[in-house]
Structure formats: C-alpha cells, structure tokens
A and B are shown apart, each in its own frame.
Chain A
C-alpha cells in the first residue's frame, strides 16, 4: 500500500508508536518504513536514542527509554518523516517539521490533516521554532484531540 499510494498502513504507523504509558513524556515517532542510505537522525540525536549502525540503509530504531523528545531529530530528517508525540490529558501534542508559507503562529487554529491529506480535526498552534540550526525547517508544536493521535500528521492553513 505504501508503495502504491505513499500512505503507510495503520499497522505500520502503530508499530512506530511506543505504548501510551510511555507517551506521558514526549517521544520521537520515526516514520521511516524503507531501507534507504541515510542516517542524520541517528547522528543528530544528542542522547543516542536513535540506532542505525554501520549499514546506513537500515531503518532507524528508537530506544524509547533514552528519548527525551528534544526534537533535534525532527528537522534533521531529510524525508521529514519524524515527529514528536506526547499525550497530555485529552490532547495529543505534536512537534512537526513545517516548510511552507504562511508559517503558523502561536495561538492560531489550523486544520489537522492525516496521511492521506484529509482534514480530520482542528489543530491548535502552541509554538513555532525556527533557528539557523533547523535550517529553514520550522518545528511547530501543535495539539489535537487525543483520539486523533494515530491519524494526525501535519497542519494546514484554514481556507
């Protein structure tokens, strides 16, 4: 399915999420489902929580207990395949990479979008970070109702 549509299956997505207990703290979700020669996520992680190893074609593996959700990996992934997820009560809080104009701003409500590009909910923009280190990739903190935790992937400005 991924090969035909570019959209991972529900099982593929779930396999990258740690269990809900662990998500009390923010954790990286590595949606890299293919062996490609690439390892900046692993080399960028200040906590060695992302493992790839000598053969850089191997898909990254997250050591959940070492991951602090610092989000350094988010703008490091050339495929923009990494987000940070956290459950805070009835909200799922994400840190996502964003490279478009207009840039979201704190306090705005944008559309929350799923992997098929469909609008599924409202997303509250809580923070936008863009520094020289992130090299024009903004790390946007957005929260959605927790029931969308496995469906939400990015934000889109309301038309």
Chain B
C-alpha cells in the first residue's frame, strides 16, 4: 500500500486549486483524475469567463485550465495520476485506484473529494436514442475532439450551460433550431440569451419535450407548450426534425464516493441534489475527508476555484502545515466567494447553504 499525505480526487478547477495551496504549504499531494486530460469541465469551455480578476475573468475556460494546471504540474510536492479512476474510498482514508488494468491501494492522511457534478437527465419517450446528449457531452465532442454532434440541433434548457453551448454550436457551424425552456422565463444570464437572439435562434419558454422520434438515431423531437401549472397543453404539439438533441437541465453533485464512507448528506434542491454536510473547513462528517467544488453544491467554476483554494489551505492546517500566507489568502478567497454569491444569481446558493447548515450540529 502506498502512502500519500493528501489525496485529491478530481483534477478539475477545485481539485487543482486545492492542490496548489496544499503543495505550497509543504503537503505532499496526489491528484487522481479519470480523464485523459486535467482541468475538469474547463478544458472544453471556449467562452470568456465572468467574475473578477481572481477568477481570471475575460479569460477563456480552456486557458484558465492551462493556468491552473501549470500552477501544480511542475510543483515538487505534487504527483498526478491521469486516466485513473478512484473505485473505492474508505473511512480509514484508504483510496483505491484503477488505472490501465492495475488496481492500487493508497493510504492517505487526508482526502479531498473534488469530483464535480454530472448532467441530469430528462424523462420523455425515446430519451435513450443515439443523438440525444448532455450539453456538456456536446461541448466535449465539439471543442475537445473537433467532431460535430449533428447538423440540426435543439437545446433543452436555458440555464447558462444551455445558452453557452448553443452559442458554441453556432460557432462550430451547427444550425441551432431553438432553445426549449420549461419555465416561463430564461434561466441563465440575459447577456448569453441576447447573444443567441441576435443570431436568430428562438427561445421557446413554457415549452418542453414530449417525445423523441427515431428508430436507430434521433430524427425529430415533439415539443409541447406548458400551462401555468407546468402541464402539457394539448393541441400545442409540434414536431421539429433534428439530428441531435442537447439536454441541459441542470447538474447533480457527484457525491457517490462520500456515500461509500457514510459521510452524511442532505438533499438540497438549491444545491443540485444530495450534498455532503461540511463544516466551515469543508470537512465532511467523516473525519479527515473533505470536499469542495460542484461536489458540495452546483455553482460556477469561479466558485469552485475559490472553494478549492480555501479547502487546500484548511487541509494543510489540519496536517499541521500552514501556508505561509494562510491568513491573508483565506480572507481574500472568502471575500471573493462572498462577492460571487452576492448578486441575484447567488441567492439560490445562499438559500441552499442556509438549509444545509440548519439544525446541524456538525456544520
């Protein structure tokens, strides 16, 4: 069994940021990531990011990924395993890893679970047809591998991901026939919606997918309008021929490894689903096991980065190694996180966090 002071599960923005702080504090860090490339979902984000300088505002997502990777990849305290899936996490902080047909057990002193989130699914007839993808999957195909998912697409969901991926599809030369939103209003930033409207793409609010049509591949989708009670309005069905459908109806935190160690979770709608109960050091109810990023609540990458930095700083302290600028950095990142959550889009997160902390002795 190999030993590592700190094992970080997930090499996305929050994992990479946590690694940077911990490594700078003198902690020996092992990052384990199952993808062929580090950077999590940032690697396929071609748009410029929001936030402030601290979150690399106006820098394209894949460039932010390069910055975050550069910060740790050559650091002597950091070891990285890629194409390595963590298949087991145990209460005594044993982490088991499956990489290229080899199974290895690691003993960690502390673990950070930074596994991010996965796309939610939508239930409708024939939703398993090839040609129906998560919006993130379409981004991956297009932006990482340069493969078009289809020629004529409809996007389901008008949150930021739905709006942004629609724009990116247009940049790749795909005809986006429309964005479908079940709610009466657009979910994401209106600047993203405005960009799409300029390009002639309609946004159908109070509309949902009734069923998909096709035999071996998607050929069309049937949309239907919804009334004020979210019920389909008979007679409003319309069939639109398409060869790809993107589902962007929200993300769910990937908390599964934490369930393995019986870390307490709570179902909080505002945070995306089941999230671990964490204290203000980001420690779960399982001693020595911490979590950060989308795995503890769905937000933006900007928040994931700040949470990652903070968790790295706290974990280093728990290991008896304080970062030389610990105090100033903690203040800085807490402040940034506060600011990111301060506007109307942060209200949902704040409500979610309040619900998480309520009645909880641990938190």
Contact = CB atoms under 8 A, between A and B. Distances in A.
Interface of A: 2-8, 31-40, 43-44, 55-57, 76-81, 99-101, 113, 115-118, 135-137, 153-154, 156
A4 B59 CA distance: 29
A57 B170 CA distance: 29
Contact of A55 (B193, B205, B339): B339
A17 B200 CA distance: 24
A37 B342 contact: yes
Nearest to A154: B198
Interface string B38-70: 000000000111111100011110010000000
B49 A78 contact: yes
Contact of B185 (A4, A77, A81): A4
B203 A6 contact: yes
A150 B73 CA distance: 50
B184 interface: yes
B201 A117 contact: yes
A117 B342 contact: no
Given A43-B53, A77-B58, A77-B191, 7 more contacts: A34-B190, A37-B341, A43-B57, A78-B49, A79-B50, A79-B195, A156-B199
B195 A80 contact: yes
Given A57-B339, A99-B171, A115-B198, A6 B184 contact: no
Given A2-B190, A79-B191, A81-B191, A37 B346 contact: yes
B58 A40 contact: yes
Q: How large is the interface on B (under 10, 10 to 19, 20 to 34, 35 or more residues)?
A: 35 or more
7 contacts: A5-B186, A6-B194, A34-B191, A35-B344, A39-B57, A80-B195, A81-B191
A6 B193 CA distance: 5
Most buried by A among B185, B339, B343: B343
A5 B203 contact: yes
A79 B58 CA distance: 9
Nearest to B201: A117
Contact of B50 (A33, A38, A117, A156): A38
B308 to A, nearest CB: 17
Contacts of B184: 4
B340 interface: yes
Given A6-B190, A76-B58, A135-B48, A37 B197 contact: no
Interface of B is mostly: mixed
Contacts of A32: 191
A78 B57 contact: yes
A154 B50 CA distance: 22
B137 to A, nearest CB: 22
Contacts of A36: 50, 189, 191, 343, 345
A151 B193 CA distance: 17
Contacts of A115: 194, 197-198
Q: By DSSP majority rule, is chain A's interface helix, strand, loop, or mixed?
A: loop
Interface string B129-172: 00000000000000000000000000000000000000000110
B302 interface: yes
The 8 closest A-B pairs by CB, nearest first: A6-B193, A79-B191, A57-B343, A117-B200, A78-B48, A40-B58, A38-B50, A3-B185
A6 B345 contact: no
Nearest to B205: A4
A30 to B, nearest CB: 11
Contacts of B200: 113, 117-118, 156
A113 B53 CA distance: 33
Nearest to A54: B339
B51 A37 contact: yes
Contacts of A8: 190, 194
A38 B57 contact: yes
A36 B341 CA distance: 9
Contacts of A76: 58
Contacts of B57: 38-40, 43, 78
A37 B339 contact: yes
A37 to B, nearest CB: 5
A135 B60 contact: yes
A100 B190 contact: no
Contact of A81 (B63, B194, B201): B194
Contacts of A117: 197-201
A136 B171 CA distance: 12
Interface in B10-29: none
B6 interface: no
B264 interface: no
A114 to B, nearest CB: 8
Between A55, A99, A113, A153, the greatest number of chain B beta carbons within 10 A of the residue's beta carbon is seen for A99
B196 interface: yes
